[in-house]
Amino acid sequence: MENNILDSVKSKASKWLDGNFDEETKKKVRYLLEHDENELVESFYRDMEFGTGGLRGIMGVGTNRMNIYTMGMATQGLCNYLKKQFQNREIKVAIAYDSRNNSRLFAETTARVFSDNDIKAYLFDSLRPTPELSFAIRHFGCQSGVVITASHNPKEYNGYKAYWDDGGQIIAPHDKNIIAEVQKITSVDEVKFYGPDKNIISIGEEIDRIYLEKIKTLSLSPDIIEKNNTLKIVYTPLHGSGVRLVPESLKKFGFINIHSVPEQNISDGNFPTVVSPNPEVSAALTLAIEKAKKIDADLVLATDPDADRVGIAVKNNQNEFILLNGNQTGAILFNYLISKWAEKGKLKGNEYIVKTIVTTELLADIAKKHNVEYYDVLTGFKYIADVILQNEGKKQFICGGEESYGYLAGEFVRDKDAVMSCSLIAEAAAAAKDRGNSLFDTLLDIYMEYGFYKESLMNIEKHGKSGAEEIAQMMEGYRKYPPKSVNNSEVVTIKDYQVLKETNLASCKQKNINLPKSNVLQFFLRDGSKISIRPSGTEPKIKFYFGVKEKLEKRDDYDKVNALLDMKIQNIITSLNLK
């Protein structure tokens, strides 16, 4: 380890021994200084950055760790910005937190800082799903909100996510402006930590009731649920905040045969029964699927710790439980909602859906068939929320979603919502059962109508400074020398979100892309394949999203066409020299 780095870190850490820090923190810093140089460097070598989504990192002492001091400084910066934006009026915020270790402490600390800045804080009395925080912001007419969560990250992590007055995560220009205010806070001495109780209002079950009643209004088939209310559902919150509200919402919809995974109903930030509390990871659903096999369930639902994303498992035609990916679940949900809106005569011509650019084009095809407008947005649910905000009072939002297991219906929440998604997915399963089908049959029917779409994600990791340079060179290479064909299929369209241009290669015509700039490239092939390339914003990797398509003539051809699509993806990877 270089002496100058270590000396700088020791000097920085020593200030935590004399400053306005609690004794337990000082004790831990002293231990690092005396016994653990490696951890000392990791904890102090930089200041944790408040990014466009807030904070997320490993918990512990130090400037590069999640603790009450780094989080307090972030909150003070947010307070300062709110006071500039909403002068001469009462400012209100809502605060929620999940099951992670220290989440309640961080939430209470955040509330105290808001309170000491004369900002009224509505603090949930116990853990709640992130989407309910979005709902509460809108319900109370708040100017901002914060949820303490690190989503599906490992147990060592926690995070701090900030929201604006529409209930959506913060976007431009507020994101950069808040970051600037947070960066101005250079010492914990600038943080007002000791707000009075009078500015902190405890909220809880009364908001749950209103939130769940609003979700119930999204139900489109109460009669079908009544006939199929014994649909067997296994649900697991993976030790997180969906534990109470997801089953309550399912019951409100009319489902009476809901089975839990008792050992995962325990709200525990150590996530003792899983390696990762991530419903995208098959191992996370192991216990739920074991339970489902025992009781011959129809549907398995799993939500992440802050209950904004949902993973599902269904029985295939061999009666085996298989996990659906986020695109497949999205296709079932979107198809159900749009078809039901059409069936009920609710489509008046001003409805729309929203998806992210890396999400399956199948969702767009479903919308187009019903003459429903669709929007493509950059990766991140905050951009879906922004489209809803821009269209408020002008057009009718049906649903939105992204391939990473997040979905939303209705306009009363402005972030992905696994509570409502679980209920609507179960309703789609009941509707399928009413027709004598399973959700897997429904998916195959969608493929037969629109084409069998299959997606895959490939991450290539490049570590260190040289890795970052290599990723930049890869993006530059694809921009300067884009492939003319991939896997023997001609590239017909290129979308470059860095320069916001879409190029038709046949006509050489260009048109503008009306989105914020982002370092993303997309190649669309003549055979319907889509390749999206983007460097990760949070990790040392570059991501390749592949989407391919073939006809599915009949259900029995599923395995054959599925293998063909797998081969197609592998051939694209080979054609791009990625392996």
Over residues 72-116, the pLDDT tens digits come to 999 999 999 999 999 999 999 999 999 999 999 999 999 999 999
Q: How large is the average pLDDT for residues 139-160?
A: 96
**pLDDT at 444 exceeding the cut of 90:** yes
CATH 3.30.310 fits 452-575, yes or no: yes
Whether 151 is a known active-site residue: answer yes
Strand partners, 233: 258, 299
Return contacts of 470-473, CB within 8 angstroms, 24+ apart: 471/535, 471/540, 471/541, 471/542, 472/535
C-beta neighbour count of 160 within 10 angstroms? 26
Residue 391, pLDDT score: 98
Return contacts of 294-299, CB within 8 angstroms, 24+ apart: 295/232, 295/234, 295/259, 296/232, 297/232, 297/233, 297/234, 297/259, 298/231, 298/232, 298/233, 298/429, 298/433, 298/438, 298/439, 299/231, 299/232, 299/233, 299/234, 299/425, 299/426, 299/429, 299/439
- Per residue, what are the HEC states of 388-455? HHHHCCCCEEEEEEECCCEEEECCCCCCCCHHHHHHHHHHHHHHHHHCCCCHHHHHHHHHHHHCEEEE
Over residues 7-40, the pLDDT tens digits come to 899 999 999 998 899 999 999 999 999 999 999 9
Q: Give the confidence band of 538 by pLDDT, cuts at 50, 70, 90.
A: low
What residue ranges of the chain are covered by domains with CATH 3.40.120.10?
Answer: 53-203, 214-450
What residue ranges of the chain are covered by domains with CATH 3.30.310?
Answer: 452-575
Over residues 370-417, the pLDDT tens digits come to 999 999 999 999 999 999 999 999 999 999 999 999 999 999 999 999
Over residues 178-198, the pLDDT tens digits come to 999 999 999 999 999 999 999
Place domain 214-450 in its CATH homologous superfamily.
Alpha-D-Glucose-1,6-Bisphosphate, subunit A, domain 3 (3.40.120.10)
Residue 52, pLDDT score: 82
E strand map for 214-309:
233-236, 258-260, 299-303
pTM: 0.96
Q: Give the confidence band of 3 by pLDDT, cuts at 50, 70, 90.
A: low
**pLDDT at 275 exceeding the cut of 80:** yes
Q: Which CATH number fits domain 53-203: 2.102.10.10, 3.30.300.180, 3.40.120.10, 3.40.50.720?
A: 3.40.120.10
Over residues 459-505, the pLDDT tens digits come to 999 887 788 889 999 999 999 999 999 999 999 999 999 999 999 99
**pLDDT at 351 exceeding the cut of 80:** yes
Q: Which listed residue (99, 151, 241, 421) is catalytic?
A: 151
Residue 464, pLDDT score: 76
Q: Give the confidence band of 354 by pLDDT, cuts at 50, 70, 90.
A: very high
Q: Give the confidence band of 2 by pLDDT, cuts at 50, 70, 90.
A: low
C-beta neighbour count of 30 within 10 angstroms? 15
E strand map for 488-574:
489-496, 501-504, 509-512, 521-525, 530-535, 541-550
Mean pLDDT, all residues of the chain: 96
Answer yes or no: are the C-beta atoms of 410 and 397 closer than 8 Å: yes
Residue 5, pLDDT score: 84
Over residues 415-425, the pLDDT tens digits come to 999 999 999 99
**pLDDT at 269 exceeding the cut of 70:** yes
